[in-house]
Amino acid sequence: MPETFDHEAALETIPHEPGCYLMKDDEGRVIYVGKSKDLYNRVRSYFQASGDTRAFVSRLPVLLSEIETIITSNEKEALILENTLIKKYEPRFNVRLKDDKNFLSLRIARDHEWPRVEIVRQQKEDDEARYFGPYSSATAIRDTLDVVNKHFKLRTCPDSVLDSRDRPCLQHQIDRCPAPCVFDIDRGEYMEQLEDAIMFLEGRGDELVEELRQKMHEASDDLEFELAARYRDQLRAIEQVLERQAAVNAEYVDRDVFGFYRDGDRVALDVLYVRDGTLQGADSFAYEDQEVSDEAILSSFLNLYYSSEPHVPSDILLPMALSRSELEAFEAILEDMTDHDVEIGAPTSKEERDLVATAKRNAEQTYQSRYEREVQQRELLEDLRDELDLQNLPVLIECYDISNLQGDHIVASKVAFREAEPDKEQYRHYKMRDVDSQDDFASMREVLERRLRKVADGTEEAPDLLVIDGGKGQLGQATAVLRELGLHQIDAISLAKSRDDRMGPDSFERVKSPERIFCPERSDPVVLDQNSAEMHLLQRLRDEAHRFAVKYHENVRRSEKFQSSLDQIPGVGTKTKRRLLKHFGGLDPIKEASIDELTDVSRIGESRAETIRDFFEESA
């Protein structure tokens, strides 16, 4: 690899055209993607003494081995291409917004006979349904959905339940659903309720209140006092909800407001969601190793953010100025995605500046919360390492648990904590392949061998610490497997639960002993302060592994019980079981189904329906 990059030679091949440039290191990895309306001038600025002053730019002569350019027709195309390239290569010095960051929205399929409001994470392509949001969190969207379900009396069940019910559910009994699944209700009235719910979700609260008040008076004039009372109660409930919503803008506009905070190479951004003049939520993002300018970070963030965001508002307020040509390109891209005009820019009025200032305070709080917590977690892991005399800082910890019932259905779980927080993508379930009796030691060995062989051959990431639920015996299985596979760099401990101890030889009073930690090559267990953060972390791991194993064990037993029940019915094979399950949604509805209901299932005639009905009546 050459010591310095020959930028003069590289510049000779770069045109004065709009497009994107890809900076690559000596291994061919893309480390930065940028865009410009003049590629030559932009790239040249990196190597001028009075040019780009960013920290990573000074290291480019050593980092770079190649600069590749892609010409586009205009700056708008360059923006779109930059988005694609950043997602594809995930360059080290660019903002990297994960593609799986989907935002919670509410969806209404109005073409359904009985539409409902449901929570979704992603808008389907070519979908005619109505979407509302985004919402900042599961809590925010569920609060909104709870209001809709409580006061607009729409069905809440999925289609599979709607199609298979033969009796009304609890929602009907508490007067929250008219039960279209079993009753012949007026669809016109149902759709009126749906339109009121849509009006509420659109933020047209005042209009909805006026409409409900008019309906109440009309019902009263027609002497329909029960209906008038229902409108009255609905009106009061909606007014109370609207009073709790804080208006932040006199104009009834949809607006996203961005806040930005930076400390060195760490950056936090916050987005405030204003819908119809009302602040409805916020979302936060934090990044490390960002050595590019504030404007470049914001530009890349906006580009990636709105490519995965289902709702584009008409107004977007930014915390800093971007070039007018770049903003115009952004606006053109977003307007192509929507059916309305989009205006992007810095605040111009006091009201707008106050909103951006609020977003900035939120971004600063996001930064403080995130990185202060990181420091605390790192200190916790360092204390755990020192207390247990571990080789490694236990950044990735895995905990294992075995679950069985009298030797049947032996299963195991693996849970993982990364930086002292659950990493659920690493959770795993195991069914025993070789162990067929109640032998926790052999079961633990089998699970660890299956997991750690993949570490030994380099196909899976190695944990820093293994935590085994149990005592010395279970720990011995872990250390034996590590030794056999040559994984001496991985630490292992076991956590033994507290037990009842007598106060003395002649005393019947019992006390709980502390939980003990067994470590290899230590004869006595380590006893940590039972209220310490380190002990709490290990207990969380152990309890989570136990919960995960028990839940899986219950599912396995339930599944086998279900299968065995249907397997005993003469003439019911795999395909028939699948059709029954799909039609009724579970075993209990099948047990309760009449012969007529059973014959509604595809390819089940009267004779087979009678066989099924007789089987469950005899086994009841």
Q: What integer best gives the mean pLDDT of the chain?
A: 81
Considering the domain architecture, whether residues 439 and 404 belong to the same structural domain is answered as yes
236 with 110, same domain: the answer is yes
Work out the pLDDT band at 524, boundaries 50, 70, 90: confident
Encoded tokens for 343: 């205006």
Residue 226 pLDDT greater than 90, yes or no: no
Domain boundary among 555, 586, 611: 555
Are residues 349 and 270 part of one domain? yes
Task: Choose between 347 and 558: higher pLDDT.
Answer: 347
Domain for residue 184, yes or no?
yes
Beta strands 255-263 and 315-317, pairing class: parallel
CB atoms within 10 A of CB 151: 20
> What CA–CA distance (Å, rounded) separates 312 from 337?
8
Pair 573, 519 in one domain = no
SS3 of residue 604 by DSSP: coil
Lowest mean pLDDT among 47-56, 61-70, 161-170, 337-346: 47-56
Distances (CA, A) of 547 to 280, 378, 405, 413: 35, 26, 15, 9
246: DSSP letter = P
| 389 DSSP 8-state letter | T
Tokens of 412: 């195991």
Average pLDDT over residues 115-127: 73
Q: What is the CATH number of the domain that holds 610?
A: 1.10.150.20
pLDDT(333) > 70: yes
pLDDT at 582: 77
Distance CA 446, CA 460 (A): 17
CATH number, domain containing residue 519: 3.30.420.340
Query: Sorting pLDDT into bands at 50, 70 and 90, what band is 244?
Result: very low
Q: What local confidence, expressed as pLDDT, does residue 99 receive?
A: 39
Determine the average pLDDT of the residues in 89-103: 65
Question: Does residue 565 register a pLDDT over 60?
Answer: yes
Residue 2 has pLDDT above 50, yes or no: no
CB 34 within 8 A of CB 20: yes
Query: What is the rounded CA–CA span in Å between residue 333 and residue 221?
Result: 53
Residue 251's pLDDT is 59
Rounded Cα distance between 121 and 245, Å, is 24
User: Which of 133-147, 260-274, 338-352, 595-609 shows the lowest per-residue confidence on average (mean pLDDT)?
Assistant: 133-147
Average pLDDT over residues 117-142: 69
Query: Which tokens sit at 235?
Result: 């009106």
Mean pLDDT, rounded, for 368-384? 84
pLDDT in tens, 472-484: 888 999 999 999 9
At residue 319, the pLDDT reads 94
* Least confident piece of the model among 19-23, 561-565, 587-591: 561-565
Note the pLDDT of residue 562: 53
| Average pLDDT for 136-158 | 74
- Is 249 among the domain residues? no
Q: Please report, for the domain that includes residue 65, its CATH number.
A: 3.40.1440.10
68 DSSP β-pair partners: 22
Distance of alpha carbon 352 from alpha carbon 248, whole angstroms = 10
CA angle 438, 442, 447 (to 5 degrees): 110
In a shared domain, residues 131 and 109: yes
| Residues 109 and 184 grouped into a single domain | yes
Question: What pLDDT shows up at residue 475?
Answer: 92
Structural domain containing residue 274: 255-369
Question: Per-residue pLDDT for 555 more than 50?
Answer: yes
Residue 101 · residue 40 · CB < 8 Å: no
Q: Assess whether pLDDT exceeds 60 at residue 406.
A: no
Which amino acid does the sequence have at 341? D
Regarding whether 121 and 84 lie in a shared domain, the answer is: no
Provide φ and ψ at 48, rounded to 5°.
-95, 140
**Angle at the Cα of 132 (from 127 to 137), degrees rounded to 5?**
120
Domain end (from 514, 531, 555)? 555
Residue 387, in any domain of the structure: no
What helix, strand, coil percent values describe the chain, rounded to 5?
45, 20, 35
Report the relative pairing of strands 428-431 and 408-418 from DSSP bridges. antiparallel
Task: Considering only residues 72 and 281, tell me which one the structure prediction assigns the higher pLDDT.
Answer: 72
**What would the mean pLDDT of 538-564 be, rounded to a whole number?**
76
Question: Is the confidence at residue 316, as pLDDT, over 90?
Answer: yes
Q: Is residue 376, in this structure, part of any structural domain at all?
A: no
Question: Confidence class of residue 560 from pLDDT cuts 50, 70 and 90?
Answer: low
Residue of 525 and 587 predicted with greater confidence: 525
* Coil, strand or helix at 495: strand
Q: Out of 506, 524, 555, pick the residue that ends a domain.
A: 555
Burial label, 536 (beta-carbon count in 10 A; 0-12, 13-18, 19+): middle
Percent over 70 (pLDDT), the chain = 84
Residue 450, pLDDT score? 92
Give the pLDDT confidence score for residue 463 in this predicted structure: 94
Q: Is 381 a member of any domain?
A: no
Judgement on whether residues 279 and 301 belong to the same structural domain of the protein = yes
Contact between 400 and 414 under an 8 Å Cβ cutoff? The reply is: yes
Confirm if 395 and 381 have CB atoms less than 8 A apart.
yes
Taking only the tens place, the pLDDT of each residue in 570-613 is 878 777 877 887 788 777 788 888 888 888 888 888 888 888 88
Instruction: Tell me if residue 354 falls in helix, strand or coil.
Output: helix
Helix axis angle for 138-151 and 225-244, nearest 10°, is: 160
Least-confidence region, from 87-96, 236-245, 319-328: 236-245
CA–CA dist 469, 444 (Å, integer): 10
Lowest mean per-residue pLDDT among 98-112, 213-227, 406-420, 452-466: 98-112
**Do strands 278-287 and 396-405 pair parallel, antiparallel, or not at all (unpaired)?**
unpaired
Largest CA distance in the chain: 94
CATH code for position 330 = 3.30.420
For 272, the token pair is 């405030």
Q: For the ranges 105-119, 162-176, 495-509, 575-589, which has the lowest average pLDDT?
A: 495-509
Listed range (150-159, 240-249, 437-446) with the worst mean pLDDT: 240-249
Question: Mind giving me the DSSP string for 424-459?
Answer: GGG-EEEE-SS--SS-HHHHHHHHHHHHHHHHHTTS
Is residue 273 located within the same domain as residue 325? yes
Q: What is the pLDDT of residue 125?
A: 57
Separation of alpha carbons 334 and 313, rounded Å = 9
Residues belonging to the chain? 620
Average pLDDT for 307-325: 83
Structure confidence at residue 250 as a pLDDT band (50, 70, 90): very low
**Are residues 262 and 213 located together in one domain of the fold?**
no
* 190 in the same domain as 229: yes
Give how many domains the chain has, as a whole number.
Answer: 5
Q: Does residue 380 lie within any of the structural domains? A: no
Sign of the CA dihedral running 143, 144, 148, 149:
negative
- Residue 554: left (phi > 0), alpha (psi -120 to 50), or beta? alpha
Q: Which two tokens stand for residue 185?
A: 């209700």
Categorize the per-residue pLDDT at 372 as very low, low, confident or very high, splitting at 50, 70 and 90: confident
Look at residue 352 and tell me whether its pLDDT is greater than 60.
yes
End-to-end CA distance of the chain: 79
What pLDDT is stored for residue 81 in this prediction? 86
Q: What is the pLDDT of residues 45-61, one digit of tens each?
A: 887 765 555 555 666 77
Question: Over 60: is that where the pLDDT of 521 sits?
Answer: yes
Q: How much is the pLDDT for 402?
A: 85
- CA gap 275, 249 in Å, rounded: 9
**Euclidean distance between CA atoms 165 and 174, whole angstroms:** 17
Residues 201-215 have pLDDT tens digits of: 776 666 777 877 888
> What pLDDT, on the 0 to 100 scale, is given for residue 205?
63
Please provide the DSSP assignment of 511-544 as one string.
Answer: EEPPPEEE-TT-SSPB---TTSHHHHHHHHHHHH
Q: Where are the alpha helices (DSSP H) in 338-349?
A: none
What are the two backbone dihedrals, phi and then psi, of residue 502, each rounded to the nearest 5 degrees?
-75, 150
**Residue 97 reports pLDDT greater than 70:** no
- Give pLDDT, residue 247: 46
Helix (H, G, I), strand (E, B) or coil at 260: strand
Could you tell me if 131 and 123 are in contact, meaning their C-beta atoms sit under 8 angstroms apart? yes
Mean pLDDT of 57-67: 76
- Give SS3 for 20: strand
Residues of the chain with pLDDT > 90: what percent? Answer: 17
In a shared domain, residues 538 and 517: yes
Three-class DSSP labels, 358-397: HHHHHHHHHHHHHHHHHHHHHHHHHHHHHHHCCCCCCCEE
* Average pLDDT rounded to a whole number, residues 300-315: 80
**Cβ neighbourhood burial of 506 (10 Å; 0-12, 13-18, 19+):** exposed
Q: Specify the range with the lowest mean pLDDT, choosing from 4-18, 396-410, 493-507.
A: 493-507
Lowest mean pLDDT among 384-393, 485-494, 550-559: 550-559
Give the least confident one: 283-287, 322-326, 492-496.
Answer: 283-287
- 90 pLDDT higher than 50: yes
